[in-house]
Amino acid sequence: MSVSFNGKHLEQFVSANEYAALYPQVEVAHNLLESKSGPGNDFLGWVDLPRDYDKEEFARIKAAAARIREDSDVLVVIGIGGSYLGARAVIEAVKGQMYNSTGKTGLQIFFVGNSISPDYFQDILDCCKGKRFSINMISKSGTTTEPALAFRVLRKVLEEQVGPEEAKKRIYATTDRARGTLKQLADAEGWETFVVPDDVGGRFSVLSAVGLLPIACAGCDIEALMAGAETGRQKFSVLSADNDCYKYAAVRNILYRKGKSVELMACYEPNFTMMNEWYKQLFGESEGKDQKGLMPTSVIFSTDLHSMGQFVQDGARMLFETVVDVKNPGRDVFLDPIEGNFDGLNFLSGQNMSVVNRKAMEGTILAHNDGGVPIGVIQVDSLSEADLGELIYFYERACAISGYLLGVNPFDQPGVESYKKNMFALLGKPGYEDRKAELEAKLN
């Protein structure tokens, strides 16, 4: 049982009766999802993806990854939001945050096009200088400003470095199956393409080519990732009051309705940092609409106990915590006693550092509980590919059920367009003249 949800530290905040009272709504949400009759029902391709994924494309992904690992020193992955977070999250969880410096992927992997910072971009260009590099451009629409800008520049650098013909073999485009400018360009230029399925939205796309190609390039086992996700699909798609995924979704909504407006995702493994970022997009974009929704936030403990710990313990009582308890760290450190015991910590010696980390977690859970913070615990055996696959499915399914319980369409993101319109207007994009004048008047 590698992924489960433990509600022990919620007991004083959410009673069994409350869960029983909400459960009929969970049934409705489950049926909406299964019958594909709820809001956003044209974006449910992720539901059975771990079973129904395109096996032919999967084999091409593995072949492309092997080629990139053979002919490149660096892979630059271009994408933003759902076209970036999942891949980076899995790579860092499996290989570690420091994978580029420790050489754990055997290939340096950099992510660009997820901001418009010229300084950050120049740093990545510097990392590509003199190296054999390939590009994976990921954009379902093909027109998102951040990745499109990065791609323009990087493509030119690559073509100048290896010549236009060789560059064609080093550009991989992950985009819409048939539509969009990137698909047209890729076909015209002869770049290998991979598909963002029509019915899978960006934030649910990590188990499609969007995530799988970069993840495979990092040397991760994508077969195990998909097998783990399939385990999750079978386990968490069952309509039952004992379904841990549905319990988690229900508890979030019970606490939200009781006035908790923030969910704090906490993990004691820094390598989980980007998984937290992925979770924030998944739930934030899915639920934050119609002036509703829990605000997803995250911390890495014990690091952030020294920054956010005070607030969580004793600040405004607006949040609940969801702890991701990773049972087995990838590696451990044995603590030897030191002569003189100058720091007074010899009582910790003779055991592994993971024990100290676990006691920090247990002590913090109890302290935060005493401070009035409800805490649910998502338990996961490890950050292996298989366990992450299961965890990803757990989150995706919980997000869909939670969104339906909240009464929103969990699969659209209309609010994301507002900043784009203003940015285009201020930059003078043709057709936005009136808006430009209006916005500039407000700014000045």
Task: Return residues touching ligand PA5 (CB under 6 A).
Answer: 80-83, 139-141, 144, 147, 201-203, 285, 413
Shortest Å, Cβ 181 to ligand PA5: 11
Q: How far is CA 12 from CA 5, 19, 64, 220, in A?
A: 16, 13, 52, 41
CA distance 283 to 374: 19
On the question of a cis peptide bond just before residue 354, with omega within 30 degrees of 0, the verdict is no
* Identity of the residue, 81 or 389, whose beta carbon is nearer to ligand PA5 in the bound complex: 81
Query: Which of 55, 56, 306, 417 is an active site residue?
Result: 306
Angle between helices 385-406 and 85-95 (to 10 degrees): 140
Which stretches of 140-263 are DSSP H helices? 145-162, 164-168, 181-189, 209-217, 222-236, 244-257
The C-alpha atoms of residue 122 and residue 119 are separated, in whole angstroms, by 5
User: Based on CB atoms, which residue is closest to ligand PA5, 202 or 389?
Assistant: 202
Smaller CB distance to ligand PA5: residue 386 or 398? Answer: 398
- The dihedral of CA 166, 169, 175, 179: what is its sign? positive
Identity of the residue, 201 or 211, whose beta carbon is nearer to ligand PA5 in the bound complex = 201
Question: Which CB atom, from 201 or from 374, has the smaller least distance to ligand PA5?
Answer: 201
**Annotated active-site residue in 327, 420, 433, 440:** 420
Rounded Cα gap, residues 175 and 137, in angstroms? 8
Considering the complex, what minimum distance in angstroms separates the CB of residue 424 from ligand PA5?
15
306 classed as catalytic: yes
User: Apex CA 350: angle with CA 344 and CA 354, to 5°?
Assistant: 90
Annotated catalytic, 285? yes
Q: What's the CA angle centered on 128, arms 124 and 133, to 5 degrees?
A: 120
Ordered strands of the 375-380 beta sheet:
3-6, 375-380, 319-326, 262-267, 295-300
From the candidates 230, 269, 285, 390, give the one annotated as an active-site residue.
285
Q: What minimum distance in Å lies between the beta carbon of 197 and ligand PA5?
A: 12
Tell me whether residue 30 is one of the annotated catalytic residues: no
What number of helices (H) and strands (E) belong to the chain?
18, 12
Smallest separation (angstroms) from ligand PA5 to the CB of 288: 12
> Smallest distance, Å, CB 144 to ligand PA5?
3
Catalytic residue numbers? 285, 306, 420
